[in-house]
Amino acid sequence: MEKKRNIVEWAMHYRQIVILVTCCLVAFGIYSLPQMQKNEFPDFTIRQGMVIAVAPGNTVNEMVEQVTKPLEDYIFSYKEVKKEKTFSTTRDGIVFVQVELNDELNNKDEFWSKFKHGVATFKSQLPPNVLAIQVMDDFGDTSALLITMESKDKTYRELSDYMDELKNRLRRISSVGRLTVSGERAEQISIYLDPERLSHYGLNEQLIAGQLFAKGFVTTGGRIQTPQYVLPVHVEKTFNTLYDVQQQIVYSDPSGNVVRLQDVARVVKEYPHADSYIKNNGTKCILLSVEMKKGKNIVQMGNDIDRVLEEFKTELPSEVNMFRITDQAQVVGDSVNAFLRELVIAIVAVVIVVMLLLPLRVALVAASTIPVTIFISLGLFYAFGIELNTVTLAALIVTLGMIVDNSIVIIDSYLEKIGEGMSRWHASIF
C-alpha cells in the first residue's frame, strides 16, 4: 500500500508546479508594487465630533437653561452616542458640546449625516435668538499636500485668481479630494466720515449711518483708530466701484440741494485689518491644502499633481512663486524606495554572511527566500486591498530577519541530517 505523502513531500514531488506557481506569484507581486494603494499612515476612525450653538446676548445661565440642556437631551437621544465621554462647555452666548460615539460604530459617516439633518430640524425648537448650530465631524481629515502661492508685488485678489485657476485644474484629478484655501483677504470699500465736514452741513454720524443702511450698506460697528473719532462703514458687493459709493446721496433738502457721500467722507478701497495672516519666506501668501480621497494611491496622486503644477508654473508671472510646505506623496515614495533599498542590502548581507559559514549555493538559497517571500506578500496585499503605509512597511522590514533565520535553520538541519547518513530526499522532507 502506497504511503500517503504529506504536503512537503507532495510539493517536492511536484516541484515544477510549485516553482511555476511561485514564479507567477512573485511576478504578480512585482506588478502590484506600483499599482497598490499607498499612504503615509493607515486610515483610522475618528469617533469624535463637535456641536456648537451660538446665541449672542445670552448669559451663561440663560445659555444653560435655554440651549445647553435641550441640546444635550437631544444629542443623548441617539443610541450611537457614548454618554460618559460626551460633555459640554458653556460661555456667554455660545456652547460647545464634544460628542463621542460608541466604539462598535463602524459607519460614522452615515451617523453624522443623519445627525446633522436631525440637528438642523431640532434648531426650530430652540429660542429664536439662537442664530446657528454647527456640527463638525471632519477632525480625522489630513492634508496630503500644502502649497503656498506668494508674491511681493501681486495683490491678494490677483493671488486668489491664480489659486482659483489652480484649483480648477487639480479638481480634474480623480484621486484629489477636498481643496481648502487659507489666508485669503477680500478687498472692501471703507467710508471714513469727517466730523468737520459733517458739522459744516449740519449732519451727524447717526443720520449718515441710517441713510447708508437703508441703501444696503453693512457696518462693523465702528472703530476708534486715531484720537479723532472715525466711523468706518463697509460696503456690500452690490456697489462695485468707488465712484458708485462716492456718488451716493446721503441728504437732500426741498430746494433740491444734495449732499453726496464724498462731500462728508473719505471713501477708499482697502484690505480690512487682519487678525491673522500667512507668510512664507517673509512674503505674503495664500495656502492651498489638498486632501486625498480614501482608497487611492497617494504616490500616483503626487505624480498627477506634479504634472499639473509644472504646466501651471509656466503660465504664472515671474513675480509669483509656489512652494511646497508638506508633501506626503514624496514622503511615501521615499519610504517605498528606502524599503526596496533595504531589501537589496539584506539580500547582499545574507549572501556575504552565510558564505563565511556555509557554501555559496546554500547562501544563495537562503538569500532567494527574501525577495520571493516579500513580493508574494506584496501581491497578497494588493489582492486583499491592504495598502502600503508606515505600519505595513515596518511589518515587512521586521519579517526580513525572520525569513533569513528560518531559511538558515532549515538548511542547517538539512545538512546535519545528510551528515548523519540520511538521503537528500528524506533530509529535505525532515
- Provide the pLDDT confidence category of residue 4 given band limits of 50, 70 and 90: low
CA distances from 247 to 232, 242, 251, 258 (A): 17, 9, 12, 10
Grid cell locating 116: 446633522
E strands along 282-351, which residues? 283-292, 321-327
- Provide the pLDDT confidence category of residue 357 given band limits of 50, 70 and 90: confident
Residue 363 neighbours by CB distance under 10 Å? 21
Phi, psi at residue 260, to the nearest 5°?
Answer: -95, 165
- Nearest CA among 258, 269, 259 for reference residue 194: 259
pLDDT in tens, 218-228: 544 444 455 55
Residue 291 neighbours by CB distance under 10 Å? 16
CA distances from 208 to 24, 236, 251 (A): 83, 16, 8
Residue 53 domain-assigned (yes or no): yes
Helix (H) or strand (E) holding 321, with range, is strand 321-327
Residue 157 domain-assigned (yes or no): no
Estimate the share of the chain in helix, then strand, then coil, as percent rounded to the nearest 5.
50, 20, 30
Residue 383 domain-assigned (yes or no): yes
Are 98 and 129 contained in the same domain? Answer: yes
Can you tell me the mean pLDDT for 346-373?
A: 78
Domain CATH code at residue 227: 3.30.2090.10
Are 425 and 336 contained in the same domain? Answer: yes
Domain final residue pick, 136, 158, 175? 136
Residue 313 domain-assigned (yes or no): no
* Separation between Cα atoms, residue 56 and residue 23, nearest integer Å: 70
Amino acid at the residue 94: I
pLDDT in tens, 180-197: 888 877 777 777 888 888
Name 267's bridge partners.
191
* Separation between Cα atoms, residue 68 and residue 83, nearest integer Å: 15
Are 19 and 54 contained in the same domain? Answer: no
Are 227 and 259 contained in the same domain? Answer: yes
CA distances from 215 to 62, 192, 223, 248 (A): 35, 17, 21, 9
Are 373 and 411 contained in the same domain? Answer: yes
Number of domains in the chain: 3
Grid cell locating 375: 513580493
Q: Which residues lie closer than 8 Å to 93 by C-beta, 6 or more apart?
A: 54, 55, 56, 57, 58, 63
Contact 159, 319 (CB under 8 A): no
Can you tell me the mean pLDDT for 364-382?
A: 87
Are 17 and 52 contained in the same domain? Answer: no
Phi, psi at residue 185, to the nearest 5°?
Answer: -130, 120
Containing structural domain, residue 117: 48-136
* Separation between Cα atoms, residue 364 and residue 157, nearest integer Å: 65
In this predicted structure, the answer to whether residue 42 has a pLDDT above a threshold of 80 is no
pLDDT in tens, 202-249: 777 777 777 776 666 654 444 445 555 555 555 445 555 777 777 777
pLDDT in tens, 94-140: 999 999 988 888 788 888 889 999 988 998 888 888 888 989 887 76
Longest pairwise C-alpha distance within the chain: 128
Grid cell locating 235: 460696503
In this structure, of 272-276, 309-313, 362-366, 368-372, the range with the lowest mean pLDDT score is: 272-276
User: What is the DSSP code string of 23-61?
Assistant: HHHHHHHHHHHHHS-B-SS------EEEEEEE-TT--HH
Q: Which residues lie closer than 8 Å to 301 by C-beta, 6 or more apart?
A: 144, 173, 175, 176, 292, 329
Domain CATH code at residue 67: 3.30.70.1430
In this structure, of 21-35, 78-92, 224-238, 329-343, the range with the lowest mean pLDDT score is: 224-238
**What does the chain come to in residues?**
430
Q: Could you give the 3-state DSSP secondary structure of residue 12?
A: helix
* Separation between Cα atoms, residue 277 and residue 238, nearest integer Å: 27
Average pLDDT, the chain: 82
Domain final residue pick, 235, 270, 305? 270
